[in-house]
Amino acid sequence: MQPASKIRKLEQWLAVKPDDPQSIRQLVTLLEFAPEADACLGTFSAAQDAIESAVGSDWQADLLPADRFTQIYDRWLATLQAKGVRHAVPIGQVFSGRTLKVKGQPVHCGAWLKFFKETGVIPALCNDCFKVQILPHDLRAMFQTYLLLQNLDLPNDNARKCMIELRDGIKFPYKAYIYCDTIEDAELCLQAFRDLQKANDVLGVSSKISHGCSEYGQRYPAFKFPENGSYSGFTPDRGWGAIEKRYFKSIKLPAPERASNSRPKPSLRDVFAFCTWVEYAIAIGDPASQQFGMSLRPKLPQQFLRRVRAQAEMRAEEQRQLKASGQ
């Protein structure tokens, strides 16, 4: 079935069942990379068309001042109300840049983390994954970090993302990453980010180099990239390669759906992510959320909100620690 046909079918279903989370997620994912939103197809398509129309071609730079983003966020929420979008799904992560690869090979983070949790083995390619880890101190800084990454001009168009932290035992509520496959590339990207941050006078954002996923460093401290930057490498167990090969022998991992995750304009999925970040910030008691809490947002599932509230005290304390340390 062609994307337009799938979109039309989902729009028709959601006109009958507007709070079906699985269908909403499918639809906003399809719309994100549809050639052009056709407002005639239904409520969600009309909302995406209006969201795109609300910004100009230089929106990344135009919205970087914090007050400008607050204004467009309120305008997007008004658009959702006007178009009849009453329900949303939680979207924790927003991606941009090229599709994530390490050493030219596509990565499968979900499958590899599952493998690690079951076996204790770090996948071989993950040993070559280095990242610029960016830690916004509050929601306001999170949105500015998102826009810095949108404006960041990197020679390799490195994969990047902004996210809220939902994993138990993994510190700090707001995060962003720039993915690299050498330490040298990570150092260059870190400097490029810091230069752009300074040029735009963005405060309350810390940054450093990290190695692979946080779970790996928790179990194997030698895997972590040290704070002093003098990384001497991690030597995996000699038997890990055979275990990985045997585990994935009969598992077919999907090929990337696209070459890049960047879009010329923000999408409805992006706006759902922004709503999710605001709800998250409210739940953990982030004072910066008050700047974004005036407009009526589409409803998120209670299951998600309960999960965030259960972590609220821990996340608020992590936020205080981050601000106090100036990390």
- Could you read off the pLDDT of 155-178 as tens digits, one per residue? 999 999 999 999 988 999 999 999
pLDDT on residue 229: 81
Residue 181 pLDDT exceeds 80: yes
Domain assignment present for 174: yes
pLDDT on residue 25: 96
| Rounded Cα gap, residues 36 and 26, in angstroms | 17
| Rounded Cα gap, residues 204 and 209, in angstroms | 17
Task: Kindly report the CATH number assigned to the domain that includes residue 118.
Answer: 3.30.70
pLDDT on residue 295: 64
> Which of 216, 247, 278 is the last residue in one of the domains?
247
| Rounded Cα gap, residues 155 and 15, in angstroms | 44
Domain assignment present for 252: no
Domain assignment present for 42: yes
| Rounded Cα gap, residues 177 and 214, in angstroms | 12
Q: Are residues 97 and 217 in the same domain?
A: yes
Mean pLDDT for all residues in the chain: 93
Q: Are residues 104 and 187 in the same domain?
A: yes
Residue 38 pLDDT exceeds 70: no
Lowest model confidence (mean pLDDT) among 57-61, 130-134, 293-297: 293-297
> Which of 213, 247, 281 is the last residue in one of the domains?
247
Domain assignment present for 272: yes
For 33-50, what is the mean pLDDT? 83
Q: Are residues 227 and 131 in the same domain?
A: yes
Distances (CA, A) of 103 to 46, 181, 249: 40, 6, 21
pLDDT on residue 105: 92
Q: Please, are residues 96 and 148 in contact by the beta-carbon 8 Å criterion? A: no
Distances (CA, A) of 88 to 47, 248, 276, 295, 306: 12, 35, 9, 15, 16
Q: Are residues 242 and 275 in the same domain?
A: no
Lowest model confidence (mean pLDDT) among 16-25, 103-112, 239-248, 318-327: 318-327
Q: Which domain holds residue 314?
A: 3-90+266-325
pLDDT on residue 41: 83
Domain assignment present for 99: yes
Distances (CA, A) of 18 to 21, 43, 85, 89, 299: 8, 10, 8, 11, 11
Domain assignment present for 256: no
pLDDT on residue 218: 94
- What are the pLDDT digits (tens) for 250-301? 999 998 888 999 999 999 999 999 999 999 999 999 999 998 866 678 989 9
Domain assignment present for 257: no
Q: Are residues 243 and 314 in the same domain?
A: no
Number of independent structural domains in the chain: 2
Q: Are residues 133 and 237 in the same domain?
A: yes
pLDDT on residue 294: 61
Residue 327 pLDDT exceeds 60: no
Q: In this structure, what are the phi and psi dihedrals at residue 74, rounded to the nearest 5 degrees?
A: -60, -40
Q: Are residues 202 and 216 in the same domain?
A: yes
pLDDT band for position 37 (cuts 50, 70, 90): low
pLDDT on residue 324: 86
> Which of 215, 247, 279 is the last residue in one of the domains?
247
The residue assigned the tokens 């209006």 is 50
pLDDT band for position 109 (cuts 50, 70, 90): very high
Distance of CA 172 to the CA centre of its chain: 14
For 48-69, what is the mean pLDDT? 93
Q: Are residues 116 and 131 in the same domain?
A: yes
Residue 1 pLDDT exceeds 60: no
Domain assignment present for 255: no
Q: Are residues 86 and 98 in the same domain?
A: no
pLDDT on residue 227: 86
Q: Are residues 53 and 106 in the same domain?
A: no
- What are the pLDDT digits (tens) for 222-259? 999 998 888 889 999 999 999 999 999 999 999 888 89
Q: Are residues 202 and 280 in the same domain?
A: no
Model pTM? 0.94
pLDDT on residue 308: 95
- What are the pLDDT digits (tens) for 191-218? 999 999 999 999 999 999 999 999 999 9
Residue 40 pLDDT exceeds 80: no
pLDDT on residue 211: 96
Q: Are residues 184 and 240 in the same domain?
A: yes
